[in-house]
Amino acid sequence: MKAVILGATKGMGRAVARALAERGDAVFLLGRDERELERSAADLKARAGKPEAVVGFAACDLEMPETFAPALDRAQAALGRIDTVVVTAGLFAPQDRLEGDAVLLRRVLTVDFTNTILFCEEARRRLLGNVVAGGALRGTLCVFSSVAGDRGRKPVVFYGAAKAGLSRYLESLDHKYRAGGLRTICVKPGFVKTGMTEGLRPPPFAGEPEQVAADVLRAIDAGTPVVYTPRMWALVMLVIRWLPRFVMRKIGF
């Protein structure tokens, strides 16, 4: 498989890139910082045990939509054909900070909703372009949304809203294009211990990025449209989705 990963240097993106490279897939890394990309590329090559594991990397920033097309073009040129695009990048800030900082709020909403969708659209066009004569299966778009988008909750008013919108976009995309060969996978991680959740107290069932990566690879291989990870969160969110409003209003979760 030939995969492009946006957000490959950190957190869950790093874990997904490692899992892909270690099992022999070719990866192309996208991220904000060239120097970090270079170090991550070295890491993946050493882990895979072969330099051809990492085909290349390019700078791409979810805050700068003008970087999307050139970065994906470079990936396509390097890989020949893109089979899978994974998007793990995103922006997070605690609710109380967002309520007091309109500039940061705009950034979070823009990155996690608008710009993620703009990036997905660039990816979608290229993946659909893979369709060859005969119309065989051509591509997978795997995007990290969040359990935060499943229900209106006090600690994630804005982040949850952006992720809810993103989840709905991914669902629609899957409905519209699956028959045409594009599989869309919406990953909903629960609490995962990464740099992004640094400083937050891990709740029960907090997961590690490696667990998430293993679940995500399984979903990509099987084409599962919605993945809760770690899997316990499917159960947790099933309960949360069915809680009545008067209960949600009372609890802090």
CB of 234 to other proteins, least distance (A): 19
**Collapsed DSSP state (helix, strand, coil) of residue 232:** helix
Length of the chain, in residues: 253
46 touches other proteins (CB under 8 A) = yes
Task: Name which of 66 and 198 has its Cβ closer to other proteins.
Answer: 198
Which of 57, 191, 228, 233 contacts other proteins by CB under 8 A?
Answer: 191
DSSP state of 56: E
Is-catalytic flag, 159?
A: yes
Q: Which two tokens stand for residue 111?
A: 């990155």
Q: Which two tokens stand for residue 31?
A: 């991220």
Question: How far is CA 15 from each of CA 86, 107, 113, 214, 242, rounded to the nearest angstrom?
Answer: 12, 25, 23, 9, 32
Task: Name which of 244 and 252 has its Cβ closer to other proteins.
Answer: 252
Which 90-119 residues touch other proteins, going by CB under 8 A? 94
190 touches other proteins (CB under 8 A) = no
Looking at 45-53, 99-107, 110-118, 122-130, which segment touches other proteins (CB under 8 A)?
45-53
188 touches other proteins (CB under 8 A) = no
Q: Which two tokens stand for residue 120?
A: 């997905």
CB of 180 to other proteins, least distance (A): 37
Pattern 48-67, other proteins, x by CB under 8 A: -x------------------
Looking at 8-16, 55-63, 101-109, 169-177, which segment touches other proteins (CB under 8 A)?
8-16
Task: Name which of 25 and 83 has its Cβ closer to other proteins.
Answer: 25
Question: How far is CA 134 from each of CA 130, 131, 180, 181, rounded to the nearest angstrom?
Answer: 11, 8, 11, 11
Question: How far is CA 114 from each of CA 41, 62, 146, 164, 204, rounded to the nearest angstrom?
Answer: 28, 10, 16, 12, 31
228 CB-contact burial (10 Å; exposed 0-12 / middle 13-18 / buried 19+): buried
What does the binding site for other proteins look like in residue numbers (CB under 8 A)?
9-11, 14, 22, 39-40, 42-43, 46-47, 49, 94, 155-156, 191, 193-195, 197-201, 203, 252
Catalytic residues: 159
